[in-house]
């Protein structure tokens, strides 16, 4: 009898945990390995689920819980660093009318908590304190070595372990070794041009709930979104020079960075200095924001997913949203492969990984490029960008543009092929629907 496939998911972040749900729904055996001691953490960072992600959550039965925890977003306001109003438009309402699903603001820890709490057999399937340090592949499977000396065995590894992915490093080594030691000399594709301070504070008086605020300036930009009882903020600053180095900031550097933004108006009538007073400083972080996309998404029995493949600044709000789409596409390929062949060869697996990359790479490249452009536009990295942002953009038909530019892309979003459900529908029908009927 053929041995049942077992998938090892390296990384228990939002995309790793969504992948776990997709595998569970496909009845594929799996384990999630997370290096941290706690699965539910990161109180500070806010995230917006766009309609295509709300639909994925609806399909796995978690949308109701996410809707209870989150704030439904309606409009977006752009202003200047000094609070001067630029434009207000129905960004999220327009998307909801088109696609039938809302955009939802909530914290990263609430996303992780909901995905984790909703996962069947989570205590045995998700293993904290499990840092992947090495992977060995053979014609029949993989052996994953953990920092505590233990070993996990399976059929393949999905590396969803973030921008500094250890899985990606191991995969690169395998590629180098299989090409007779000819190292890939291409420069490291994930480069940091911006850093960000981010965290949360209680919702201040006078703030419109369900509103997304963005402030623009020379080399800086901020975003704030309400999610339940908190506002989640991030403030970007352009670095003096791009770098590929990893950087950890001290508490003193964080405090100095925060103080330098005291006069920045996060909202047209409220400064960051006022928000800083009410925030819990332990929940505020200062990090590098890498950008880029890698060329090779798989090798042998290893495949990459999420921020380990495509990374952008939070300005376009697409990191989790894109990662979940990629996860759905990848697990669709695995489910289809395993249902006809539970013990595929390495070549069989690579064929499925290739199809996954072919489907997702064009849209991910476009998303990364768009994110880079948006980040540079609102931080005024060129005169033309400054003129466009300040004087042309506010006078454009923004809702018409959302319908023309974003709706065709969102309508092509993926779902799990093998999970029937009654999808909500808006003015623009979904192109991809499950292959099985509800
Ligand atoms: C301030 C801010 C706001 C953002 N807002 C949005 C938004 O509105 N919308 C959006 O779509 N995106 C947003 N993003 C981006 C989003 O957070 C990321 O794209 C997303 O977290 C990527 O998920 P992931 O699971 O691929 O990787 P990660 O979130 O990085 O998770 C990787 C996991 O792998 C674990 N890990 C790492 N190495 C190992 C190892 N060797 N062994 C085992 N486990 C390991 C890590 O501990 C971690 O839990 C935002 C980011 C920031 C900083």
Contact between 77 and 214 (Cβ < 8 Å)? yes
Dmax of the chain from CA atoms?
A: 70
In terms of residues, how long is the chain? 438
The CA 16 to ligand 1 mean position distance, Å, reads: 9
Query: In whole angstroms, what is the distance from residue 204 CA to residue 215 CA?
Result: 17
Q: Which of 10, 13, 230 has most ligand 1 atoms within 8 Å of CB, for mutation?
A: 13
pLDDT tens, per residue, the chain with 438 residues:
568 999 999 999 999 999 999 999 999 999 999 999 999 887 678 999 999 999 999 999 999 999 999 999 999 999 999 999 999 999 999 999 999 999 999 999 999 999 999 999 999 999 999 999 999 999 999 999 999 999 999 999 999 999 999 999 999 999 988 876 555 556 678 999 999 999 999 999 988 889 999 999 999 999 999 877 899 999 999 999 999 998 899 999 999 999 999 999 999 899 999 999 999 999 999 999 999 999 999 999 999 999 999 999 999 999 999 999 999 999 999 999 999 999 999 999 999 999 999 999 999 999 999 999 999 999 999 999 999 999 999 999 999 989 898 999 999 999 999 999 999 999 999 999 999 987
Active-site residue 223, yes or no? yes
- Give the pLDDT score at 166: 97
Closest ligand 1 atom to 130 CA: 43
Concatenating the DSSP letter of every residue in 398-432 gives HHHHHHHHTHHHHHT----TT--------SS--S-
CB proximity list for 217: less than 8 A, separation 6 or greater: 80, 81, 264, 379, 380
Residue 142: burial class (beta carbons within 10 Å; 0-12, 13-18, 19+) = buried
Which residue's CA is minimally distant from atom 38 of ligand 1? Answer: 161
The CA 390 to ligand 1 mean position distance, Å, reads: 32
The CA 182 to ligand 1 mean position distance, Å, reads: 32
**pTM beyond 0.85:** yes
Contact between 407 and 400 (Cβ < 8 Å)? no
Q: How far is CA 102 from CA 61, 99, 321, 371, in A?
A: 16, 8, 13, 21
Ramachandran quadrant class, 341 (left: phi over 0; alpha: psi -120 to 50; beta: rest) = beta
User: Considering 35, 110, 223, 360, which one is annotated as catalytic?
Assistant: 223
């Amino acid at each position: 009898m053929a041995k049942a496939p077992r998938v090892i998911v390296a990384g228990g972040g939002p995309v790793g945990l969504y992948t776990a749900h997709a595998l569970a729904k496909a009845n594929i055996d799996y384990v999630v390995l997370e290096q941290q001691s706690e699965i539910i953490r990161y109180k500070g960072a806010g995230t917006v689920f766009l309609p295509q992600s709300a639909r994925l959550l609806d399909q796995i039965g978690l949308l109701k819980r996410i809707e209870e925890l989150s704030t439904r977003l309606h409009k977006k306001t752009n202003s200047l660093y000094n609070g001067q109003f630029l434009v207000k438009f129905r960004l999220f309402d327009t998307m909801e009318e088109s696609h039938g699903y809302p955009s939802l603001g909530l914290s990263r820890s609430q996303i992780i908590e909901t995905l984790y709490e909703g996962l069947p057999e989570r205590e045995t399937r998700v293993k904290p304190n499990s840092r992947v340090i090495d992977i060995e592949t053979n014609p029949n499977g993989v052996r994953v070595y953990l920092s505590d000396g233990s070993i996990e065995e399976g059929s393949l590894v999905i590396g969803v372990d973030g921008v500094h992915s250890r899985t990606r490093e191991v995969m690169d080594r395998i590629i180098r070794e299989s090409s007779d030691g000819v190292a890939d000399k291409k420069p490291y594709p994930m480069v940091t041009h911006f850093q960000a301070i981010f965290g949360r504070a209680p919702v201040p008086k006078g703030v419109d709930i369900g509103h997304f605020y963005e402030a623009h300036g020379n080399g800086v930009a901020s975003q704030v979104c309400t999610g339940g009882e908190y506002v989640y903020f991030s403030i970007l600053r352009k670095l003096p020079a791009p770098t590929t180095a990893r950087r950890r900031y001290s508490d003193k550097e964080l405090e100095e960075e925060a103080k330098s933004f005291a006069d920045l108006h996060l909202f047209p009538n409220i400064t960051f200095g006022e928000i800083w007073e009410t925030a819990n400083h332990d929940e505020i972080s200062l990090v590098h924001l890498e950008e880029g996309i890698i060329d090779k998404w798989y090798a042998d029995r290893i495949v990459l997913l999420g921020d380990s493949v495509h990374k952008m600044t939070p300005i376009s709000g697409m990191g989790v949203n894109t990662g979940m789409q990629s996860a759905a596409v990848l697990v669709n390929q695995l489910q289809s492969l395993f249902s006809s062949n539970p013990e595929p060869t390495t070549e069989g697996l690579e064929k499925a990984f290739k199809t996954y990359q072919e489907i997702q790479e064009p849209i991910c490249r476009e998303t990364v490029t768009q994110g880079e452009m948006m980040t540079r536009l609102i931080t005024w990295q060129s005169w033309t960008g400054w003129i466009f942002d300040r004087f042309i953009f506010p006078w454009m038909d923004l809702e018409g543009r959302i319908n023309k530019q974003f709706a065709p892309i969102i309508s092509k979003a993926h779902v799990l092929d093998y999970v029937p459900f009654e999808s909500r529908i808006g003015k623009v029908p979904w192109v991809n629907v499950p292959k099985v009927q509800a």
